[in-house]
Chain A
Amino acid sequence: MQLNNIFAPNAVITALPASSKAQVLRALAEAAAVANDLDPQEIFEILRERERLGSTAIGEGVAIPHAKVPGLDHLVGWIAKLEQPLEFDAIDDKPVDLVVMLLAPESAGADHLRVLAQLSRMAKDHQRCAALRGCSSAEALWQTLTQEDERRAA
């Protein structure tokens, strides 16, 4: 599955101001809710509950919060670089500065798991993460996130 179908060009935040994990989740929930006409509080609660069952901060400063959201009919992704690294209860205890959120329909089959695997591979690719961290504009961030992926797929 191609990431440019999941991440809209405007679904990028280059410098998210936040001082806690909860604020990051809330900001992303609100952004996705506005873009897709959903209830931000509901998305936030589902993301938060998921984090309670096990942190999605998979190490090296990257977190991939995700949730199944009622009323959503397609996969929705958002990427955010944080203004300052935050404690995210990560596996390696390192603070997180790169957050990639994935929302899926309640009835999602297996696509969402494939995308999650793809994102988690990306998160473990140091070069790729360095490139994402180096992007200063929204456009560059989106390009880096989606195009690199196309090249690899090709």
Chain B
Amino acid sequence: MKVIVCGAGQVGTTLARHLSSEANDVVVIDQSDDLIRRLDDSLDVRGIVGYASRPGVLEQAGAADADMIIAATVSDEVNMVACMVAHTLFHVPVKIARVRDQEYAADKWSALFGKDGLPIDVLISPEQEVARAIMRRLHAPGAIEMIELADNAIRLVGVRLGEQCPIINTPLRQLAALFPDLNIQVVGVVRDGRPFVPSDQDQLFPRDEVYFVADTLHVPRAMAAVGQDLPESHRVIIVGGGNIGRRLARIIEEEDRDISAMIIERDPEQAKEIAQRLARTTVLNGDAMDPDLLEEANASRADTIIAVTDHDETNILASLLAKRYGTKQAIALVTRPAYASLLQPLDIDVIINPRAITASTILQLIRRGRVRAVHSIGDSFGEIIDIEAMESSGIVGKPLSESKLPHGAIVGAIARDGKVIIPRSDTVIRPGDRVVLFATESVIKKVERIFAVSLEHF
């Protein structure tokens, strides 16, 4: 597939890297000579210096035979015009624009992207998605990952197992017998930084990061069974009043009366501005690494610290420090993949990886089949895919054990007629079923083919 990415900032670079790693033909446009040069050096993509909405620049980027344009420059307006030009002059089939200003996406103006509006198929707002991902973790204390699937009938949950966890040292196939209430399917395990898809002979050990799929209604019970049924947060400290921090505070103000939030922002001007914009949130101006300020923020009594500044290092240290002061849980935004492995032994409960979250929206459009959602899991571990099983595809009409799913792919759960089925080897998938499956990156293509319809599908 040929993809044009406009904007070589963090979002554009993340997507370009992900797309080129899957053998797509990627062209990146940016105004900055310097950014393009750096990209050329590090990635297998073609860089073009220029203004992304200009027809001539898009033509040079090969818009005429592109399958997709992702406009992710810093300017909402440039992004929208770039999609418009790509559509009108070059017939690019799929147009994606990063739009930060929420007013453009407001329900009141939904006609803007309607049939007669701007030709944009998908709007992405990475900061908003990251803020939402953090909210999901806040509501699932103890979970390192929590993703709603199949219209929230099914959830993927990631947990880190403690020494006292009841389900450790037991082969997975025995779990159902030993814990009849525990209706989960373990789809992935990360042990000492090494990810694998477990077979039913495998056992779980303390400190394993375990990803399982369960009926949403059973999640509280499952969390208790894995020893992670912690109380929900009521007092949170947000470090960093940038785009993500502000959105998070706004979501909390608008949707969550039970949570009181405080923002620590270092820049006095920014702090003042945030204080004016938010109503219920306390804003402190200062350094989150300053013991006096942490005292003032009452860190010893806070439930969760959420560190979302632009600097990974600040986020990591602020989280650790707050926990030293008595904050119960720490969530830190960490962009550099290299840090992820270092952080394992440290006391940070949840690492939010904005790259993975940004990539997820795009993956849904790239994957073949009637895919409803895709989320990448771990650092290049694999993807959890929510897909509709089609009549005539290789997955339906026979027991799962005969469906030739490759090693590294596993069906987590099936939603059918409002019920959730945790599959066994003799489960038969029917047309119309919503299937939630996990696949490691190397087998995704094979999985797509098994779900592909046969030629006769009209």
Residues of A participating in the B interface, judged by any CB pair closer than 8 Å: 18-23, 26, 44, 48, 50, 52-56, 58, 64, 66-68, 89, 104, 108, 112-113, 116-117, 120
Contacts and interface: CB of A to CB of B under 8 A. Distances in A.
9 contacts: A19-B65, A20-B65, A20-B66, A20-B67, A22-B93, A53-B452, A54-B393, A108-B458, A116-B458
A54 B458 contact: no
Nearest to B91: A26
Given A53-B457, A66-B458, 10 more contacts: A22-B91, A50-B457, A52-B369, A53-B390, A53-B453, A54-B452, A54-B453, A54-B455, A55-B452, A58-B455
Contacts of B370: 53
B270 interface: no
Contacts of B407: none
Interface in B400-458: 452-458
Nearest to B68: A22
Given A53-B368, A54-B368, A54-B453, A22 B65 contact: yes
Interface of B: 2, 64-67, 91, 93, 368-370, 390, 393, 452-458
Nearest to A64: B455
A61 B31 CA distance: 40
Contacts of B454: 54
A20 B90 CA distance: 13
Contacts of B453: 53-54
B458 A22 contact: no
A50 B392 CA distance: 13
B458 A23 contact: no
Contacts of B93: 22, 44, 48
B56 to A, nearest CB: 19
A40 to B, nearest CB: 10
Nearest to A45: B93
Which 7 A-B pairs have CB atoms at the shortest separation, nearest pair first? A54-B452, A20-B65, A54-B453, A19-B65, A53-B453, A52-B368, A22-B93
A125 to B, nearest CB: 16
Contact of B456 (A19, A104, A113): A113
B390 A104 contact: no
A47 B452 CA distance: 15
B132 to A, nearest CB: 26
B251 to A, nearest CB: 33
Contacts of B65: 18-20, 22-23
A55 B453 CA distance: 8
Nearest to B452: A54
Nearest to A21: B67
A68 B458 CA distance: 6
A113 B458 contact: yes
A82 B426 CA distance: 46
Nearest to B62: A19
- Tell me which of A20, A58, A108 has the highest count of chain B C-beta atoms within 10 A of its own C-beta: A20
Nearest to B369: A53
Contacts of B91: 22, 26
A64 B454 CA distance: 12
A71 to B, nearest CB: 16
A67 B455 contact: no
A21 B452 CA distance: 18
B77 to A, nearest CB: 25
A18 B2 CA distance: 14
- Tell me which of A89, A117, A120 has the highest count of chain B C-beta atoms within 10 A of its own C-beta: A89
B274 to A, nearest CB: 43
A20 B3 CA distance: 12
A116 B456 contact: yes
Contact of A22 (B67, B369, B393, B456): B67
Contacts of B455: 54, 56, 58, 64, 116, 120
A33 to B, nearest CB: 13
Contacts of B2: 20
- Tell me which of B66, B452, B458 has the highest count of chain A C-beta atoms within 10 A of its own C-beta: B458
- Tell me which of A23, A52, A113 has the highest count of chain B C-beta atoms within 10 A of its own C-beta: A52
A53 B451 CA distance: 8
Nearest to B366: A52
B458 A104 contact: yes
A68 B451 CA distance: 21
A55 B393 CA distance: 12
A66 B368 CA distance: 17
B88 to A, nearest CB: 12
A131 B93 CA distance: 34
A52 B370 CA distance: 8
A55 B368 CA distance: 9
Nearest to A112: B458
- Tell me which of B66, B93, B368 has the highest count of chain A C-beta atoms within 10 A of its own C-beta: B93
B87 to A, nearest CB: 10
A87 to B, nearest CB: 9
A54 B453 CA distance: 5
A77 to B, nearest CB: 14
Nearest to B453: A54
Nearest to A51: B368
B234 to A, nearest CB: 45
B431 to A, nearest CB: 12
A62 B457 CA distance: 17
Given A26-B91, A48-B93, A54 B457 contact: yes
A121 B454 CA distance: 15
